[in-house]
């Protein structure tokens, strides 16, 4: 599991992914960690298959008892099917996840972790002095879906938006936007069901000051590529399977 | 999932399946008792000895149904415990793997507590499962006892039926059905016991 620090300030953002030992038949995922002096938030901590390498990687940055918060952008197994394992490993943690998915996510087992239901209009996650904004992204692609924005680090963790399927040796950042477009087109057209939801999200996100757009799969976008992505996505027709 | 875990799931699931067959048979005995009572009533003095036997049969059927109902509830508890044990074992294995992969990490040692806790939790589950299996075997033995009693009653019924004149055939049929049902209960419960006995607390 590769670990890359993508922000260092009063707190840190670390990206985990490109796991070479991952079984080849499961989708590659990016996990993100926000680390403050005494706490640690795992964003979309991943599937059950990924638990051991992910936990081992996090232990380079935080002890187990400081992993206090998990965030699940939506209910998919590649996002959070490891919940039952985190639930047994962590004694004092909270899961921030969409309210509408609570009864579903509890199927993964969530007994010791406290479920913090996120209402449809979003909210915040306070991690010591850091306040993260939970941005609604419903129907992108899940009916109850959120992204996380850090106004200090200017990072938007964008879940499946901006995702692309790539091999374990793919670079971490988009380096040639035009070439990258074809890696994203089908993903967004097929997985994202609603043009209206897409427009509402783009309008909302254009108001944020973003240095890095960090999806759950594939490469991250930084600098001008963030705007390029939003423009490209704006023009794209989605929901093509009907 | 290991072969042992698979066998454990199958053993626990088979109890419910075997016992639902026992339940059907016990209900059949209850019906046979009601039928026998009606025949004995019609036969009057000719089946005088048969009348109290019908009450025994009915009582035995009711007790068997009650026992099986309780065992089914217990079997469900055992199934949940099996799921629990499976999850805890999986967690322990993943935690051990994580601890191994984290060797050299700054906070690797902090994984020891979750590993120890998961191990303890898994072993508690295994012990509880063995204790519950022993208790369940005891309850199954009680059902076996009822099945044996039913066979004795069936034998007595045959003797009494032989003195019931024109009602002989009807009452013998009742005795046969009780005997057959007792055999079925015995065989099904015995299969449950065999399936579970490997997990008994030694």
- 3-state SS class at A78: helix
Nearest Cα of chain A lies from the Cα of B175 at a distance, in angstroms, of: 51
CA distances from B37 to B57, B69, B149 (A): 10, 25, 19
- The residue behind tokens 């449950």 is B192
Assess contact for B72 and B16: CB atoms under 8 A: yes
pLDDT at residue B165, as a whole number: 81
pLDDT at A175: 95
> Distance (Å, rounded) from C-alpha B164 to C-alpha A241?
78
Does position B197 have pLDDT exceeding 80, yes or no?
yes
Give the lowest-confidence range in A35-49, A120-134, B184-198. B184-198
**CB-based contact (8 Å) between B86 and chain A?**
no
B97: chain A residues, CB-CB within 8 Å: 52
The answer to whether residue B49 scores a pLDDT higher than 80 is no
Summary mean pLDDT of chain B: 87
Nearest CA in chain B to A51: B94
- Round to the nearest angstrom and report the end-to-end CA distance of chain A: 38
Q: How far apart are the C-alpha atoms of B4 and B7, rounded to whole Å?
A: 5
Write down the pLDDT at residue B163: 80
Interatomic CA distance for residues B122 and B116, integer angstroms? 10
Average pLDDT (A105-128) is 97
Q: Decide if B201 touches A, using CB distance below 8 A.
A: no
Q: What average pLDDT does range A147-152 have in this prediction?
A: 98
Q: How far is CA A70 from CA A39, B13, B38, in A?
A: 11, 35, 69
In the predicted structure, residue B181 carries a pLDDT above the cut 80: yes
Q: Name the closest residue on chain B to residue A83, using Cα atoms.
A: B91
Q: How far is A93 from chain B (nearest CA, A)?
A: 14
Chain A residues whose CB is inside 8 A of the B102 CB are 55-56, 59-60
Whether A165 and chain B come into contact, CB under 8 Å, resolves to no
pLDDT at A139: 98
Query: Taking CA atoms, what residue in A is nearest to B109?
Result: A63
SS3 assignment, position A134: strand
C-beta of residue A158 within 8 angstroms of C-beta of residue A137: yes
State mean pLDDT over B163-189. Answer: 85
Report percent pLDDT > 70 for chain B.
99
Q: How sure is the predictor about A109, in pLDDT bands with cuts at 50, 70 and 90?
A: very high
* Interface subset of A 73-132, CB within 8 angstroms of B: 84-85, 88-90, 109
pLDDT at residue number A221: 98
Do the beta carbons of residue A82 and residue A56 sit within 8 Å?
no
Which tens digit of pLDDT belongs to each residue from A164-184?
A: 988 878 999 999 999 999 999
Residues of B in contact with A51 (CB under 8 A): 94, 98
Residue A4, strand partner residues:
A15
Nearest by CB: A59 against B87, B102, B118: B102
CB–CB contact B107 A85 (8 Å): no
Of A51, A64, A88, the CB nearest to B111: A64
Does B64 have pLDDT greater than 60?
yes
Q: What is the pLDDT of residue B161?
A: 81
Q: Which domain holds residue B108?
A: 3-200
- The model's pLDDT over A27-72, given as tens digits with 9 standing for 90+, comes to 999 999 999 999 999 999 999 999 999 999 999 999 999 999 999 9
Q: In which band, very low, low, confident or very high, does the pLDDT at B201 lie, cut at 50, 70 and 90?
A: low
Task: State the pLDDT at residue B177.
Answer: 85
Q: How many CB pairs under 8 A join A and B?
A: 65
- Which of A99-103, B96-100, B109-113, B162-166 shows the lowest per-residue confidence on average (mean pLDDT)? B162-166
Into how many domains does chain B fold? Answer: 1
Max mean pLDDT range (A200-214, B38-52, B64-78): A200-214
CA distance A240 to chain B (A): 39
Query: How high is the pLDDT of residue B40?
Result: 82
Higher pLDDT, B142 or A76: A76
For residue B63, what pLDDT is reported?
Answer: 86
- Give the C-alpha separation, A190 to B161, whole Å: 77
How confident is the prediction for chain A on average, in pLDDT? Answer: 96
- Please compute the mean of the pLDDT values over residues B89-93 and round it to a whole number: 95
Supply the pLDDT for residue A80. 98
pLDDT at A124: 98
């Amino acid at each position: 599991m590769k670990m890359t620090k993508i922000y260092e300030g009063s707190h840190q953002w670390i990206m985990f992914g490109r796991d070479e030992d991952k079984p080849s038949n499961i989708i590659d995922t990016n996990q993100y960690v926000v680390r403050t002096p005494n706490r640690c938030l795992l964003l979309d901590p991943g599937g059950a298959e990924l638990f051991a390498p992910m936990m081992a990687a996090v232990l380079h940055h935080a002890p187990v008892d400081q992993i206090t918060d998990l965030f699940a952008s939506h209910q998919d197994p590649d996002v959070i099917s490891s919940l039952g394992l985190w639930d047994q490993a962590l004694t004092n943690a909270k899961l921030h996840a969409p309210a509408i998915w609570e009864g579903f996510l509890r199927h993964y087992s969530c007994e010791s972790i406290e479920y913090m239901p996120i209402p449809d209009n979003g909210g915040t996650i306070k991690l010591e002095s850091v306040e993260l904004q939970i941005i609604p992204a419903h129907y992108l692609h899940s009916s109850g879906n959120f992204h996380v924005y850090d106004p200090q680090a200017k990072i938007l963790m964008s879940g499946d938006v901006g995702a692309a399927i790539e091999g374990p040796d793919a670079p971490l950042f988009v380096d040639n936007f035009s070439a990258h477009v074809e890696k994203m087109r089908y993903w967004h057209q097929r997985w994202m069901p609603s043009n209206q939801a897409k427009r509402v999200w783009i309008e909302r996100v254009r108001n944020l000051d973003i240095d890095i757009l960090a999806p759950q799969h594939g490469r991250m976008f930084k600098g001008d590529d963030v705007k390029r992505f939003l423009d490209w996505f704006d023009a794209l027709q989605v929901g093509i399977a009907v | 999932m290991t072969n042992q875990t698979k066998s454990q799931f199958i053993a626990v699931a088979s109890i419910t399946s075997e016992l639902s067959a026992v339940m059907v048979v016990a209900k059949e005995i209850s019906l046979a008792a009601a039928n026998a009572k009606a025949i004995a009533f019609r036969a009057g003095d000719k089946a005088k000895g048969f009348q109290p036997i019908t009450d025994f049969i009915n009582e035995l059927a009711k007790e068997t149904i009650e026992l099986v109902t309780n065992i089914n509830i217990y079997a469900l508890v055992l199934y949940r415990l099996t799921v629990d044990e499976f999850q805890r074992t999986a967690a322990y294995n993943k935690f051990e793997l994580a601890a191994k992969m984290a060797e050299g990490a700054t906070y690797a040692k902090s994984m020891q507590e979750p590993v120890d806790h998961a191990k303890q939790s898994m072993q508690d589950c295994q012990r509880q499962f063995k204790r519950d299996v022993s208790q369940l075997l005891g309850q199954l033995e009680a059902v076996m006892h009822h099945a044996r009693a039913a066979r004795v009653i069936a034998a007595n019924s045959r003797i009494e039926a032989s003195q019931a004149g024109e009602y002989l055939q009807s009452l013998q049929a009742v005795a046969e059905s009780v005997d057959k049902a007792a055999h079925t209960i015995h065989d099904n419960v015995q299969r449950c016991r065999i399936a579970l006995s490997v997990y008994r607390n030694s």
